[in-house]
Amino acid sequence: TRITHTLQTDEGQAGFDFLGHHIRQYPVGKTHSGTNPGNKQPLGFKTIIKPSKEAIKRHRRQTQEVINHLGTATQEAVIRKLNPVVRGWTNYFSTVCSKTTFGQEGMHLFKKLLAWAIHRHPTKGKKWIAAKYWGIKRGLGWKFITPNNSHQLSLHGETAIRRHPKIQGSRSPFDGDWTYWGLRMKHYPATSLRDKVLLKRQGGRCFECGLYFKPEDVAEVDHIVPKEHGGKDAYYNLQLLHRHCHDKKTAEDRLRYA
What is the tens place of the pLDDT at every residue in 23-63?
999 888 888 887 887 888 888 888 899 999 999 999 999 99
Say what the pTM is. 0.68
> What is the structure's pLDDT at 34?
79
What confidence tens digit (pLDDT) does each residue in 170-182 have?
Answer: 878 777 787 877 7
Share of residues in the chain with pLDDT > 70 (%): 98
| Domains of the chain by start residue, with CATH | 16-51 (no CATH), 53-158 (no CATH), 178-256 (1.10.30)
Alpha-carbon separation of residue 254 from 53, 238, 247 (angstroms): 61, 17, 11
Of residues 12 and 230, more confidence is placed in: 230
Share of residues in the chain with pLDDT > 90 (%): 57
Phi/psi of residue 48, nearest 5 degrees: -125, 130
> What is the structure's pLDDT at 10?
75
List the alpha helices (DSSP H) in the chain. 53-69, 75-92, 99-120, 126-133, 178-184, 193-201, 243-256
What confidence tens digit (pLDDT) does each residue in 191-207 have?
Answer: 888 888 898 888 889 99
Residue 11 above 80 pLDDT? no
Distance of alpha carbon 204 from alpha carbon 221, whole angstroms: 14
> What is the structure's pLDDT at 31?
82
Q: Which helix (H) or strand (E) holds 196?
A: helix 193-201
Q: Which helix (H) or strand (E) holds 83?
A: helix 75-92
* Residue of 19, 41, 22 lying closest to 30 (CA atoms): 41
The residues, ordered by sequence, that sit 6+ positions from 144 with a Cβ below 8 Å of its Cβ are: 75, 79, 110, 113, 133, 134, 152, 153
